[in-house]
A and B are shown apart, each in its own frame.
Chain A
Amino acid sequence: MSILDAEHRSIWIVAAVLAVAPLPVLGSSYYEGILAHMLLIAVLAVALNIVFGQTDQLFLFSGGLAGFGAYGTAILADWLSISAWITLPIVALLAGGIGLFVSWVSAKRNFSVVLIAILTISLQFVFSEVFVGARDITGGSTGFRYDYLSFDAITAATGLGSKLVVYYAVLVLLVASLLVYVRLVDSKYGVAFAALREDELAAQSIGIDVVRYKTTAGFVAAFLIGMTGPFIAKEAGYILPNEFSFFAIDVIVLIVLIVGGLRTVVGPVVGAVIVVAIEQILAANASSWRTAIFGALLIFLFIYFQNGVVVSVRERLERSELFERYLGDSNAD
């Protein structure tokens, strides 16, 4: 594989498009913030694409892990009186460790997808309780200002707005996560993942170490999610438990992944663009119905577009093109 093959090329195209995307809204920190939010959701969707898309482990605690990353980075930086830039990778590794542990136990114990879902949704609830309840260190439901992960040096040197700098930082994170995704899927890991999805028992019998592959996926995904969390708070400028609730993160990320298409490389990005666009339209016209509409959307998508809206639409287009060409040929005869 090379860095210029088809999959990598699509990543570079996405990166190039996203690099110029803020140009039309330059100077508006509101829209720059929305774009940054869009990329953050995309990174979370890439992570879920690895752990759920590739290995069928339904992690329903992305919000909790992201919150763990965000709160952890800030709190650890304060405790140790060091820069959040140092605590960020440490906490992300810890988040990865949580993912690894969940995957390891689930794989060892042969948990079905239902049990992983229950286990992680319970953990999500625990995380939320701690964010709200441990007032002394998290500030409870009033949160605290998120001044960590300072970009002052960059904003001073380049003169760019702080939201824009956050946007580009997240873009780097997104491209890195997409590269990790392709690297994983194109390696022996990808082959093993495919074998596991087909038939776990058969995969095991030909010598695939099920536990190892699943824990790798769990670690990588949780690490990425833990890495993303602090930027969610950074983008908002303020950290609140609500930013990391099940409904704010997990539900949205699931929709993004289904809209974009499970197991596609740039699907999470396309999904994030579509879902954030819908979010903005709703925010302007029907903000109090936002949750309800996303719930309905989730039901609708899973009934009719399980393989991803983008994938289905493309397939349908291709089929109709083939159909026309076929018809055209037969008419010529």
Chain B
Amino acid sequence: MVTASTLLGVAVDGLAFGVVLALLGVSITLVFGLGEVLNLAIGIFAVLAVLAARTAINSGVGLAVGVVVGLVFIGFVGFVVDRTLLRFVYRSTGEDRILLGIFITLGLAVLFEGVLINYFPAQYGLSLGVEPISFGTVVLTGSSLAVIALGGVALIALLVFLRRTFLGKATRTIFQDERGAQLVGVNLRRIRTFIFVLSAAVAGFAGLIHATGSTVSVSTGFEFTTFALIVSIVGGVRSIIGAIAAGLVLGMVSQFANFFVGSYVATIILFVTAIVALFAKPEVLS
């Protein structure tokens, strides 16, 4: 018999995974919403941040500094990618741009994976060393609580940024009407660069907090990308709030499926959920 306290433990783990998924979903949604570029390298960006942080920590700096190094590094990678490769993508329009975006970021993901596997062949984690916390009979994973706290703050900060600041408002304007935004004087290219860097950092942050509770390897990158993709399709590809909600729901689904049926079947349940969602509500998506 499964006790309520065990279920609560699973729910907390699910929420933690959901926060990671939400961040990944938001980062892919931001870039797609802004310029129709589906960034298939998003997963490897998340892994890259973890590897940079791990390398920094191994060379002697503390955990917090290491995390900052990881974020700055991935932001810089995002900047370089935007200024070089995405230049070619934004030059084309319509269907061409979408295809070019898919293939160039796909090539980038393959390139990063192929390079990184030579230097980072193992599993890497960033353990916080937080003990499990117990409330009476309920025992919760310490790292899950930390992930929820950190990720939750990041998500709220993102929402506040998008709703309250000028830059955020300009971004949302482009989401809604690219031409209109240009007409009122929004500098499209600069905002795209900024959002791409932001999205890389958000993905990096997702990877970093995920790595506090488990480990990542180079091949986790593709897994992260597929997770980000299903979150964004369930959430509605262009909706930030949708991506957050979808991430949280799918995280729960995944952990509960993992708990009750285990292993690869859980992954299948997760994807079937996503695909059913895709079939069920087409109008938001096309």
Interface positions of A (Cβ within 8 A of B): 56, 58, 105, 109-115, 117-119, 121-123, 125-126, 129-130, 132-134, 246-247, 251, 254, 288-300, 302-303, 306
Give the number of residues in B that approach A within 8 Å (Cβ atoms). Answer: 47
For B32, what are the chain A residues with a Cβ–Cβ distance below 8 Å? Answer: 114
B233 at the A interface (CB under 8 A): yes
Q: Are B110 and A115 neighbours in the complex by a CB distance under 8 Å? A: no
Which residues of chain B are within 8 angstroms of A112 by Cβ–Cβ distance?
98, 286
Q: Which of chain A's residues have a CB closer than 8 A to the CB of B232?
A: 118
A-B contacts, 9 listed (Cβ < 8 Å): A110-B286, A112-B286, A118-B229, A125-B271, A134-B264, A288-B118, A292-B118, A298-B106, A298-B107
B95 touches A290 (CB 8 A): no
Q: Are A299 and B226 in contact (CB under 8 A)?
A: no
What 0/1 pattern do residues 100 to 118 of B give for CB contact below 8 A with A?
A: 1011101111111111011
Q: Which residues of B contact A (CB under 8 A)?
A: 32, 36, 38, 40, 85, 88, 95, 98-100, 102-104, 106-115, 117-118, 222-223, 225-226, 229-230, 232-233, 237, 263-265, 267-268, 271, 274-275, 278-279, 282, 285-286
Q: Establish whether residues B107 and A302, one from each chain, have CB atoms under 8 Å apart when the complex forms.
A: yes
Chain B neighbourhood of A56, CB < 8 A: 95
Residue of A nearest to B232 (CB): A118
Chain A residues contacting B265 (CB-CB under 8 Å) are: 133
Contact B114 A290, beta carbon cutoff 8 Å? yes
Q: Are B110 and A251 in contact (CB under 8 A)?
A: yes
Q: In the bound complex, how far is the Cα of B101 from the Cα of A306, in angstroms?
A: 12
Most chain B CB neighbours (cut-off 10 Å) among A105, A133, A296, A302: A302
Once A and B bind, how many residue pairs between them come within 8 Å at the CB atom? 132
Docked CA distance A295–B278 (Å): 29
Contacts A122-B274, A125-B223; A295 near B113 (Cβ below 8 A): yes
Considering the complex, give the chain A residue whose CB is closest to the CB of B88.
Answer: A303
Complex: A211 Cα to B275 Cα, angstroms = 20
With contacts A114-B98, A118-B229, A122-B226 taken as known, whether A129 is within 8 angstroms of B115 at the C-beta atoms is no
Return chain A residues, CB-CB under 8 Å to B222: 125, 246-247
Q: Contact: A299 with B107, CB < 8 Å?
A: yes
In the complex the two chains form, is A254's CB within 8 Å of B229's CB? no
Question: Do A122 and B114 have beta carbons less than 8 Å apart?
Answer: no
Interface of B, secondary structure class, is: helix
Specify which of B103, B225, B286 is in contact with A111 (CB 8 Å cutoff).
B286
Distance in Å: Cβ of B280 to nearest Cβ of chain A: 10
Known contacts A115-B285, A122-B229, A126-B268; decide if A295 and B88 are in contact (CB<8 Å): no
In the complex, what distance in Å separates the CA atom of A132 from the CA atom of B226? 17
Within the complex, which residue of B109, B263, B268, B282 is in contact with A110, where a contact is CB–CB below 8 Å? B282
Q: Write out the residue numbers on chain B whose beta carbons fall within 8 Å of the beta carbon of A121.
A: 40, 225-226, 229
| Whole-angstrom distance between the Cβ of B207 and the nearest chain A Cβ | 18
- Alpha-carbon gap, A236 to B262, bound state (A): 32
Q: Is the CB of A291 within 8 A of B285?
A: no
Once A130-B264, A132-B264, A247-B113 are accepted as A-B contacts, the answer to whether A295 and B108 lie under 8 Å apart by CB is: yes
Assess the A293–B229 pair: CB atoms within 8 A.
no
| In contact, B104 and A299 (Cβ under 8 angstroms) | yes
Q: A111-B282, A134-B264 are in contact. List 14 more A-B contacts (CB 8 A).
A: A109-B286, A111-B286, A113-B99, A115-B278, A115-B286, A118-B230, A118-B233, A122-B274, A123-B271, A246-B222, A247-B222, A292-B113, A295-B114, A298-B111
Give the docked Cα–Cα distance between A195 and B43 (Å): 37
Residues of B within 8 A of A300 (CB): 107
**Which residues in B have their C-beta under 8 angstroms from that of A114?**
32, 36, 38, 98, 102, 237
Contacts of A118 in B (CB 8 A): 38, 229-230, 232-233
A-B pairs, top 3 by smallest CB distance, nearest first, are A133-B264, A292-B114, A295-B111
| Contacts A114-B38, A118-B233, A125-B271 given; does A296 touch B118 at CB 8 Å | no
Q: Are the CB atoms of B111 and A129 closer together than 8 Å?
A: no
Which of A123, A292, A302 interacts with B115 by CB under 8 Å? A292
A117-B118 contact given A58-B99, A295-B113, CB 8 Å threshold: no
A119, B108: Cβ atoms under 8 Å?
Answer: no
Alpha-carbon distance A115/B115, docked complex (angstroms): 29
Q: Chain A's nearest CB lies how many Å from the CB of B268?
A: 6
CB distance from B115 to the nearest CB of A (A): 5
Set of chain A residues within 8 Å of B103, measured between Cβ atoms? 254, 298-299, 302
CA distance A295 to B264 in the complex (A): 28
Q: Which of B36, B111, B275 contacts A292 (CB 8 A)?
A: B111
